[in-house]
Each structure stands twice: as C-alpha cells, then as structure tokens.
Amino acid sequence: MHRRTALSVSAALLVAAPLLSACSGETRPGTAAVVGGERITTSALQAQVGDVRAAQNRSEQAATLIANTPQLERIKLGKMIQLRVLERAAKDAGISVTTKEIEDARKAQEGDKGAAALEQLALQARVPLAPGQIDEDLRFRLLLDKLSERFGEERIIEPLTKASEALDIEVNPRYGAWDAKQVGLGPVDTAWITQRTRPEQEPAGA
C-alpha cells in the first residue's frame, strides 16, 4: 500500500438525549459520547486507552511515550467518533473495505521489518495504537483513502461533514465538544483528513 489513509435531527435528539443526559442536565454516568443514537461507553473508551498504556509500559521508551500522550483518553475518543463518521460517509457513498484489503495493507506496512517493528512505530504515532488496534486503524485509513479518491482531497470534508451532522453527535462535556463541520473533537485537528503519508514514513495511526 503506497498511501494510507488514513434519522432526522429531531428523531436523533430524541434517541440521544436520554442516553447522554440524566435529570438536572447531568451527564449520564458511563457515556463518553452518543453517535447516531448509539453510545460509546466510557468503559469501551477506557479499554482502548488501557491497551495503549499497557503496550507503552512494555516499551523501552515507556516514560517518553506516556509523557507525550497526557490527553490519551480524549484523543482516542475523537478517533473512535471519527471512525463512525467515516463509516457513515462510506456507506452513503457505497464504499466498503474488505478483510483482504486490510490484510494486504498490514503486510505492506510490516514490509521486511515485521510485526514487532510496526507495533513499536504505531505506539509513537500521533494517535498511538496498541497492537490489537492496528488493523482497525488500517480500515480507517483505507476508508479515508477511498473517500478521498471518490471526492478528491479538496472536497473530502464535504461528505464527512454531512455524515457528522447526520449522526447528531453528542459528547460528554468532560471530553470537550464535537465540531461537525470540522469533523473533530475541539480543539479541532483535521490533519487526519489530508494526510497522505507513505508507510515507510509513518506506518500507522498518524
């Protein structure tokens, strides 16, 4: 692989509001976000964070890796939401990614250096990945790559914003606010939309 990639509004509100909020405007415990009426639980988020921290702690560079990711929980939540936005945009465009494509991308990423080298580099990425998260990230990149090819890099934000708005995303205030137009958890970082790196430069999770 030479490039990585990377309901009505009222009805959605009726579904999402009771999930994210409880009485007195308090956030319902256990909910990190609601995307398209489906919860991303704090336990699911913490599991992803825990996997990364465990992998970081096994590294010889543990102290540096952990020090460089102080907001890991928030970063991972943003990526989890972005994946759901990508999936919606891809579905609307009739785009899909097969298991075979992910397997081929994984082999290309590993190259001659092997899985261990890829796993170590994945921990150093802007959005660090535990070994078990690499394939999902490759799926993310392949979906983004196909959408970019369909719409063009200059217009890729349009279907992503449309999908983001359709999903009526709500985020637990402790993690910030979702920006549907920029498709990111504020402060918004859209580098993931335009980045087109080669695997030898940054193999996963940039």
pLDDT per residue as tens digits for the range 35-63: 999 999 999 999 999 999 999 999 999 99
Burial class for 105, CB neighbours closer than 10 Å (0-12, 13-18, 19+) = buried
The answer to the question of residue 203 being in a domain is: no
- In which domain, by residue range, is 87 found? 9-194
The answer to the question of residue 104 being in a domain is: yes
Q: CA-CA distance, 196 to 192, in Å (whole number)? A: 9
Count of the separate structural domains present in the chain? 1
The answer to the question of residue 199 being in a domain is: no
Tens of pLDDT along 1-32? 444 433 333 233 233 334 444 433 444 669 99
For residue 30, give the nearest of 13, 43, 47, 16 by alpha carbon: 43
Q: CA-CA distance, 161 to 184, in Å (whole number)? A: 10
The answer to the question of residue 70 being in a domain is: yes
The answer to the question of residue 71 being in a domain is: yes
Q: CA-CA distance, 169 to 174, in Å (whole number)? A: 15
The answer to the question of residue 36 being in a domain is: yes
Give me the sign of the Cα torsion angle 148, 150, 154, 160: negative
Burial class for 135, CB neighbours closer than 10 Å (0-12, 13-18, 19+) = middle
Say if residues 139 and 161 touch (Cβ distance below 8 Å): no
Residue 153's pLDDT band, with cuts at 50, 70 and 90, is confident
The answer to the question of residue 88 being in a domain is: yes
Q: CA-CA distance, 17 to 26, in Å (whole number)? A: 11
The answer to the question of residue 3 being in a domain is: no
